[in-house]
Amino acid sequence: MPKEIKLCLVYRDMWQSSGKYMPNANQLVKVAEPIINMGCWDRIETNGGGFEQIQLLAGENPNHVLRKWTKPFNESGIQTQMLERGLNALSMSPVSKDVRELMFSVKKKQGTDIARSFDGLNDVRNLKLSIDYAKKAGMVSQSCLCITHSKIHTVKYYINLAKELINLGTEEIAIKDMAGIGRPSSLGKIVRGIKEYKPDITVQYHGHSGPGFSVASSLEVARCGADIIDVSMEPLSWGTTHADLLTVHEILKDDGFKIKDFDRKSYMEVRNLTQEFIDDFLGLYINQKNRLMNSLLVESGLPGGMMGSLMNDLEKSHLSINKWLQKNNKKEISIDNLFSLLLDEVKYIWPIMGYPPLVTPYSQYVKNVAIVNVLNCIKGKERWSLIDDNTWDMLLGKSGKLPGSVGDEIIKLSKKLGKDFYSGDPQDLVNDVLDQNRKEMKSNNWDLGEDDEELLEFSLHKNQYIDYKSGDAMKKLRSDIDLKKHENLTQEKSINKKKKEIIMINDSNYEVEFIINEEIENSNGKSLIKGNKILSPIEGKVFLRKDSSEKGVKVGDVIKKGDVICYIESMKVVNAIKSEFSGNIEQVCFKDGEDIYDDDILFIIN
């Protein structure tokens, strides 16, 4: 009798692995019906990962969006699943116990059936509470093996990891091949080993298609006992996302598996609606390189889920480094060459950083360090000059146990900076915050929401939630859409009459006029105020304060070498910028929240 295999449409991940934003509530409700009418789905990935944060950034309430989005699937009997990050829940950094427990309770009440939980370091300590809280909330607990490829991450390693998670009480195992670099044969052996240990456990395969293994992997894991395969759909399949339904359906059917047929008319309707959403404005945030497969990813292991943000970051870094090269009479670098250098740097620093599986947020941490290292190497500077606090927490063991040991370069740097390694439970470092956050919301006359769902959002994404409540998020998005549309029409960047430079993008030259602070530089680019210049080491948004509790520096303040004097938010992390000099602040050369490039002047110190 043929084995039955089921399919899951990862509609959320299709978008997150392609670009920055998701469809809004009305669009998601509109596409839900034809998805259901296709008739082939047992599961739909509806939320999790960056879904909530993305909705806030778009000026939408993620709680309202999710309840509307899951409702039609709940009514049709199709299971809904979410992705959560264990210790980090739905955030990019560790979250307290009380917030983690509330998250599962809220998401279940909002219509989510299955909690797919992963820890970016494969540290089972960080998943124990996820398993317990998911089951307590009435959700199905599914725990992930974050797949990567190294001398440490062997078939035996993953089978033993699955055994530990099963013994902790997880009800399902997900093979989370976030970069698509799991070799088909090895993945099959992992699935077979899991099934030999616990034959009745559900195994679901999730593989991105970037380097091209995912179709073969889907067939191999199915042959070895996997029960459910995640797939995507055109126009957001392949590239950095996932293999398309049509291909996976056909190879499984041809191999003799029992699989539900799909309605092609409904397939085309979903496809056309998805394209309609792309054409609306979401396509402005999808880099076309993410629609391509790239075998270079086999070695670097960068995951599909971060490629949308990576290409956006790389474009900014590309403009920034070419600006510096122009100033220093050096040849510009193409974005393809910069991307190649980044992949080589990731391959070099990954073992030194302890072999963290390249999945959110640790893929971002490794990528961020790699980009800064590449830019510094181009400028003739040393590596490791800028490591943000979250990345240090990972390196020091405060996020969990790294699979490997950090290299001598990291150990020496930690000693130089007075940083200590930690071997305890990472959850013990995070204090409960719900009571404090309740008081803060009530002081603002903000409703805690149905089932405390607004309290949850405030606790998980405080800054984005405040921007959403104030209306700033929607204003920023509309402004950014207008800017991107203008850029697409003119093929130019922001215009200022003071200075012109030629920038090469994809081997084409564009005339770009850069903003120059007239109070700082004269026509020859010389400082009009004498003193030591503190330059930005990276592009991003610059702020004087990290949060409202901190007091920013100002003109006249006396500072010491090594003092934190501002922060630059870049590539999803906040970098503390320290002064290279002692003295008085003579000039603050930026506006709070302003976009800056690396080597822009931040302060004049005397």
Contact 51, 84 (CB under 8 A): no
Contact 421, 397 (CB under 8 A): yes
DSSP H or E run through 310: helix 307-327
Share of residues in the chain with pLDDT > 90 (%): 63
Whether 499 shows a pLDDT value over 70: the answer reads no
Instruction: Fill in the amino acid letter for 571.
Output: M
Question: Concatenated DSSP letters for 506-547?
Answer: TTEEEEEE----TTTB-TTS-BSS-SEEEEPSS-EEEES-SS
Tally of CA atoms within 13 A in the half-sphere of 205 that contains its CB: 37
Rounded distance between C-alpha atoms, residue 560 and residue 584, angstroms: 9
Rounded distance between C-alpha atoms, residue 171 and residue 167, angstroms: 10
- What pLDDT digit, counting tens, does each position of 358-368 carry? 787 888 888 88
The structure tokens 């969006």 sit at: 65
Share of residues in the chain with pLDDT > 70 (%): 90
For 21, residues 6+ apart whose C-beta sits below 8 A from its C-beta are 15, 54, 57, 58, 281, 282, 285
Rounded distance between C-alpha atoms, residue 249 and residue 245, angstroms: 6
Whether 258 shows a pLDDT value over 60: the answer reads yes
Instruction: Fill in the amino acid letter for 72.
Output: P
Rounded distance between C-alpha atoms, residue 574 and residue 543, angstroms: 10
| 24-39: average pLDDT | 97
| 296-312: average pLDDT | 63
- What pLDDT digit, counting tens, does each position of 195-204 carry? 999 999 999 9
Whether 277 shows a pLDDT value over 80: the answer reads yes
Q: What is the pTM of this model?
A: 0.81
> Closest Cα to residue 122, out of 353, 358, 303?
358
Whether 48 shows a pLDDT value over 90: the answer reads yes
**What pLDDT is attached to residue 488?**
74
User: Regarding the domain delimited by 516-605, which CATH topology (the fold level of the hierarchy) does it fall under?
Assistant: OB fold (Dihydrolipoamide Acetyltransferase, E2P) (2.40.50)
Question: Concatenated DSSP letters for 225-277?
Answer: T--EEEEB-TTS-STTSB-BHHHHHHHHHHTT-B-----HHHHHHHHHHHHHH
Domain boundaries, the chain: 516-605
Instruction: Fill in the amino acid letter for 90.
Output: L
**What pLDDT is attached to residue 303?**
62
Give 538's pLDDT tier (boundaries 50, 70, 90): confident
Contact 343, 296 (CB under 8 A): yes
Contact 117, 144 (CB under 8 A): yes
Contact 115, 140 (CB under 8 A): yes
Q: Which two tokens stand for residue 449?
A: 């929401």
Q: Which two tokens stand for residue 29?
A: 């409700």
Whether 35 shows a pLDDT value over 70: the answer reads yes
Give 121's pLDDT tier (boundaries 50, 70, 90): very high
Instruction: For residue 172, count other CB atoms closer than 10 A to its CB.
Output: 21
